[in-house]
Structure 1
Amino acid sequence: MTTSFAVSVSSSLFEAHVNFFTPGTALPDVAEILAIEQLPGSRWARLSRIQVRHTDGGEESYFVKVSLGHHGREALKGEFEATSAIHAVTPDFCPQPIAWGSLRGDPDAHFYLCRYYEFSGKLPEPGPFCERLARLHKSHTSANGKFGFHCTTYNGDMPQDNIWFDTWEAFFANGLQHVLDVREERAGSDATLDSLLPALFENVIPRLLRPMESNGRRVQPCLVHGDLWFGNAAVVHGTGEPVVFDPAGFYAHNEYELGNWRPERNRFTRGGYFEAYHNHIHRTEPQEDYDDRNALYALRFNLHAATLFPDRDEFLQMAVDEIRRLVEKYPDGYTGEE
């Protein structure tokens, strides 16, 4: 599975954007492109800010992401669909997506378009940020009541398996196995990891996730951003409003979102973000399992990092260390008595 879809520097970049903004396309009221600025920040796509003048004389800036190939197309489709779902529930929490598709004249190059926002460079304050995140999670907008999503979404250049499942345990186990398969395909097998996986799937996952869906309890499928680290959250310059972007979303247990906050590299371990979030949504019962559930979710995000950056051994080691701890703590698995 080759999933690299980074866009190389091309002398036709300006021409591609000019064609993109011609009449009959995503923004038919553009009279003139004033400037194109290449932006940093992605290994998987070319990012640009495009300033235009509309036919009514007004000026506006747009954010455009361009990727190549089948996986590039699917990644941008997934970003558009996930952002659209977030925007439909919490329109003040993400940029409104405008369009996605293929560049005219180059069917192998694909785009995602939304309005451009100037960010302050600060991490959002816990209070207003977590209020909006909790509002998103409380929406319970899974139309079929299941866990998953109607299309593939990508974490970086890694496709996620979002096939629908009736239970959170089944969805999580299937998605985690998919991540492990992609990691092994890119980096090769790891004997220590492989030795721990049977106990992880047979004992730990049922022990930590099944009690939430037993004895009359039920996990509500919530729309999650799916890749909520500090690089995908920002403060809008001038307004101070917190926003999120670049989602890898699906319908999940709401606490899955917080698994990405556990690794200190993602910067949400400081400043009271967990506490601010749980001011709005209480910890799921049984609460005594909360920290180990968070650790279970976090190890998936560490495996994401190990898949995206297979040359950096520390990410895999973090996951292995956590799996070993959980396997040793829960040797008996789920007994129905938790």
Structure 2
Amino acid sequence: MPVTQLQSELHCILDLRVAAVALKPLPSVEEVISVDSGNKSAWAHALRIAVRHQNGEEESYFMKVAFGSQGLESLKGEYEATAAIYAITPDFCPKPIAWGTLETAPDTHFYLRKYYEFFEGVPEPESFCEKLAMLHSSHTSPEGKFGFHCTTYNGNIPQDNTWSDSWELFFANGLRHVLNIREARAGPDAELDELLPGLFDKVIPRLLRPLESNGRSIEPTLVHGNLWCGNAAIIDDETEEGIIFDPSSFWAHNEYELGNWRPVRNKFTRRYFEAYQSIIPKAEPEADFDDRNALYALRFNLNAATLFTQDKNYLQMVIDEIRRLTEKYPDGYVDEVGQDKPN
């Protein structure tokens, strides 16, 4: 939905009675004091709701508002992903409270969570990466597989979270899904299309199959799924302690999370890699780590190319990286005793 239409729809939202409906899961709220408009995007709008509880204490809550069936699905995904993260590391994300549809506006949907005051900057690396490693150390996928029990969204991109026993297969399917969405939104690109067979037939098997071959295995880890500096914030100005929010979660290879740290624009420097890997070392084969990281980063650059189709720089980054990797790995996957494996 265009921002102008979104803003016009919000006239009904910026009403204390409507906010009170959304706060029904909080029976201790006695009065809604104010509703203030916050950040907005092309697909959602944020609100801060100040309330007074029955004991006289005042508190604020964050509410995200979206419209239509896609808005409902995306907010459900955000709630479910945040709830999954909160169940493992409750001090690392806001407590999710509720999601649903406003009774007075059936095409208008909301997600409600605790509100935080954020400070400028990126959280301190050591404590931040310690919490992230704790999240990644919980190998409790309910299916023991890669995927998630509902669709989660990266911006306005629905992710393919279909359960899979194989990380290689799950990653490849998810990447194809985003490629299809990008093409539907922006049209085909001849240069990209020419490179894709080498990416799927050679590069992905070469870099991901060794993780699950020759006695190696990886356990599914719950990832935030879109962990850049805009989805992490400092909540204590003195300690620079941080939290994460707005997740696009699924159960994945833990190193997938670090793919979004590779682009310099996302402000997670080498210090964050080092702090994280001091707790969770690079997966074997360790020598493949940098190119695995580049492959995972390629997915995040593709997400950006799909979200912002008018900016051709993101698509060019994807094309350049695929070309580099296909030139480096022209033979694809060869097992460790020298026999080719079928793709």
1:182 matches 2:181:
yes
2:265 alignment partner in structure 1 = 265
Q: Do the aligned residues in 2 keep the contact of 1:4 with 1:71 (CA within 8 Å)?
A: no
The secondary structure found in structure 1 opposite 2:161 is coil
Q: Which amino acid aligns with 1:50?
A: I
Does the 8 A contact of 1:259 with 1:297 survive in 2? yes
Kept in 1: contact 2:83–2:95 (CA 8 A): yes
Shift of 1:26: 2.0
| Whole-angstrom distance in 2 between the partners of 1:203 and 1:39 | 45
- Secondary structure of 1:65's aligned partner: strand
Q: Does 1:71 align with 2:70?
A: yes
- Opposite residue 46 of structure 1, the aligned amino acid is H
Q: Contact 1:66–1:112 at 8 Å: present in 2 too? A: yes
Q: Aligned letter for 2:243?
A: V
SS in 1 for 2:214: coil
Shift of 1:295: 0.4
SS of the counterpart of 2:302?
helix
Q: C-alpha separation between the residues in 2 aligned to 1:152 and 1:176? A: 15
1:237 deviates by 3.7
Residue matched to 1:323: 322
Whole-angstrom CA distance in 1 between matches of 2:17 and 2:149 = 32
Matches within 5 A, 1:136-147: 136-147=135-146
C-alpha distance in 2 between matches for 1:23 and 1:227: 27
- Deviation of 1:334 after TM superposition, in Å, equals 0.7
Q: Does 1:82 align with 2:81?
A: yes
Counting only pairs closer than 5 Å after superposition, residues 167-316 of structure 1 correspond to structure 2 as 167-237=166-236, 240-268=240-268, 270=269, 272-316=271-315
How far is 1:84 from its partner?
0.2
SS at structure 2 position matched to 1:272:
helix
Q: CA deviation at 1:28?
A: 2.6
Percent identical across equivalent pairs?
A: 60
Deviations 1:46-67 (A, max 9, x none): 1011100112211110000000
Aligned partners of 1:4 and 1:95: how far apart in 2?
A: 26
The number of residues matched between the two structures is 335
Q: Is contact 2:147-2:250 (8 Å) kept?
A: yes
Deviation at 1:104, TM superposition (A): 1.2
2:3 and 2:284 map into 1 onto residues whose CA distance is: 40
Classify 1:225/1:279 alpha carbon distance in 2 versus 1 (closer, same or farther; 3 Å).
Answer: same
Distance apart, 1:20 and its partner CA:
3.9
Counterparts of 1:36-55 in structure 2, within 5 Å, are: 36-55=35-54
Once the two structures are superposed, residues 308-331 of structure 1 have per-residue CA deviations (whole angstroms, 9 ceiling, x without a partner) of 000000000000000000001111
Query: How do 1:89-108 and structure 2 match up within 5 A?
Result: 89-108=88-107
What SS does structure 2 have at the residue aligned with 1:217? coil
Structure 1: how far apart are the matches of 2:78 and 2:3? Answer: 16
| CA RMSD, Structure 1 to Structure 2 (Å) | 1.8
Distance 1:322 1:75, change over 3 A: same
TM-score by length of 1: 0.95
- In 2, distance between residues paired with 1:70 and 1:64? 18
In structure 2, distance between residues paired with 1:275 and 1:121? 23
Q: What per-residue deviation string (whole Å, max 9, x for no partner) do you get for residues 13-34 of structure 1?
A: 223x523424982223222111
Residues 149 and 163 of structure 1 are in contact (CA less than 8 Å); yes or no, is this contact kept in structure 2?
A: yes
2:341 corresponds to which residue? none
1:147-166 equivalence runs, <5 A: 147-166=146-165
Whichever residue aligns with residue 256 of structure 1, its letter is: Y
Using the TM superposition, give the Cα deviation of residue 122 of structure 1 relative to its aligned residue in structure 2, in angstroms.
1.7
Distance 1:5 1:132, change over 3 A: farther
Q: Take 1:4 and 1:289, find their aligned partners in 2: how far apart are those partners?
A: 43
Match of 1:135 in 2: 134
* 1:57 alignment partner in structure 2: 56
Q: Distance in 2 between matches of 1:51 and 1:154?
A: 28
Q: Secondary structure at the match of 2:7?
A: coil
Distance in 2 between the 1:98 and 1:322 partners? 40
Separation (CA, whole Å) in 2 of partners of 1:94 and 1:29: 23
Work out the CA distance in 1 between the residues paired with 2:297 and 2:207. Answer: 13
Instruction: Say if 1:87 and 1:94, in contact at 8 Å, map to a contact too.
Output: yes
